[in-house]
Chain A
Amino acid sequence: MNQSIKVEKTVTIDKPTAELYRFWRHFENLPRFTRHLKDVRVSNDKRSHWITSGLLDGTIEWDAEIIDDRPNELIAWKSVANADVDNAGSVQFKPAPGDRGTEVKVVTVYNPPAGVIGDAISKLFGENPKQQIGDDLARFKMLMEAGEIATNDGQLSGRRNSKD
């Protein structure tokens, strides 16, 4: 039996809680800033289908359900029973002191299954899941505050034997 892995990360975003909540509540938006989600399809007000990318041997998919939803405060979700990947997450929005926008806290928990999928999941979340969640949150912040995600992908250089 693998141990469940829990990651928490908080970032302050200089935008009102309502705006951030609205963006996040549309789960279809999540792949715009997360590295490993390829697609989230929302089936109804509670239920959605999550598809990951970036795995050598294809995608991993699961259905998730919203288990708590407090407008402008909190959204919590959980994979449905018998999902390949047993996981849960929440995002909390709290006004930051001094009119500095919103403290956004993400908590994710997953129970890596044994076997091939478990290995793939470990790859997906990386050796440092906290950093991955942190990077995703940093990109969320960029998208909200700057309207786009700073990147040097495709950055040119004079590196020899390289394609970029």
Chain B
Amino acid sequence: MRAVCWQGTNNVQVETVPDPKIINPRDAIVKITSTAICGSDLHLYDGFVPTMEQGDILGHEFMGEVVELGSAVHNLKVGDRVVVPFPIACGGCFFCKQKLTSLCDNSNPNAFMAEAIMGHSPAGLFGYSHMLGGYAGGQAEYVRVPFADVGPFKIPDGLADEQVLFLTDIFPTGYMAAENCDIQSGHIVAIWGCGPVAQFAIRSAYMLGAERVIAIDRVPERLQMAEQGGAEVLNFEKVDVGEALKEMTGGRGPDAVMDAVGMEAHGMGVEGLIDKAKQAVRLETDRPHVLRQAILACRKGGTVSIPGVYGGFVDSMPMGAAMNKGLTFKMGQTHVHRYLQTLLDRVQNGEIDPSFVITHRLPLEQAPHGYEIFKHKKDNCIKIVLKPGQAA
């Protein structure tokens, strides 16, 4: 089959690789009909995530048709159309039972690597680093899905791929980020970054009752999409974000702040240059500019919600501000499984059509071009859906 393979920093290639096979009784093989490139794929592309290996198959936002089932999967049948959550969850451990599926104890065969760096291992993920399982991803024609009796979620007839594909990651990720804001009536929420996750976080914050959402970025088309979702927008290259947020919130600061940027934030001024230099020589693995600014902006007693991905270490966190202002931090990889039904309901009842975020549709064969334009935000690119089997 054809698959998008990581060949090194800034280098992905579509290669011919062997078709996946059932390995464990709870596995399924899914023939992929639609698959997307995610912002966290760019962290891999940019070479900032440790334990990638040349040749790894990327992709963790995918859906398709079940074509083969292991002997222990009884709730699916061949031909079912499914979306597959990006964290792999066993369904039987303490964390899965509490629907904290991105913390599954049993899905990462390389847990020892994660334990060495983080103390404990989160769930294995599709198409990510070896530290998080080394599972082949879904930017391919077929994928092996472990614990298929727990992950894949059947899609009812009448919904197009593009309406449900993002249930695999970015819609639940944006929704969980908004849920983590603990939004109460009258609350104002600020969000850094207007990428695809942020677009869903903005809309989710309104679904959960936010009074106002203020979105911060510098890319015009992303700010425009945020505005279409009801957000007031700030361009951080044009205004002092901290000051502007204070002015817009009666001096209080936003009740909750979201960092939807993560480890590769573009800092401004001297601080940004120092972080960039440190990251280049690996003195710090992540550039936490946004997180620092969000902590300072947040109102006293407010909540900092972090959907943006961090991989390692950050320097110079304003812990004094966080502590003395009594902030609450909430974060984590998304427990996708717990949101599938409720978010599907919102799609089905017409509250949201997630396809709004798609700017590009490309054949799988054009994935290298897709990564290039997504990374450099060329051609107004915000979200790319790849179609396997389509002529290049």
Contact = CB atoms under 8 A, between A and B. Distances in A.
Interface in A112-139: 131, 134-135, 138
Given A12-B94, A145-B105, A150-B107, A158 B112 contact: no
A146 B94 contact: no
Looking at chain B, what size class is its interface with the partner chain? 35 or more
Contacts of B56: 157-158
Interface in B48-63: 53-57
B135 interface: yes
Interface of B: 3, 5, 7, 13, 15-21, 23-26, 53-57, 72, 88, 90-94, 97, 105-112, 115, 124, 133-136, 146-147
B94 A148 contact: no
Interface of A: 12, 14, 100-101, 131, 134-135, 138, 141-142, 145-160, 162
B135 A146 contact: no
A43 to B, nearest CB: 31
Nearest to A163: B18
Given A153-B23, A157-B55, A162-B55, A100 B106 contact: no
Nearest to A153: B23
Given A135-B112, A148-B24, A153-B23, 9 more contacts: A100-B94, A145-B92, A150-B124, A158-B16, A158-B55, A158-B56, A158-B57, A159-B55, A160-B54
Interface residue SS majority, chain B: loop
What 10 A-B pairs are tightest by C-beta distance, nearest first?
Answer: A159-B55, A158-B5, A158-B15, A146-B90, A157-B55, A145-B92, A158-B55, A142-B106, A146-B106, A148-B24
26 contacts: A12-B94, A14-B92, A14-B93, A101-B94, A138-B111, A145-B90, A146-B91, A146-B93, A146-B106, A146-B107, A146-B147, A147-B92, A148-B24, A150-B106, A150-B107, A150-B147, A152-B134, A154-B21, A155-B134, A155-B135, A156-B19, A156-B20, A157-B57, A158-B16, A158-B57, A160-B54
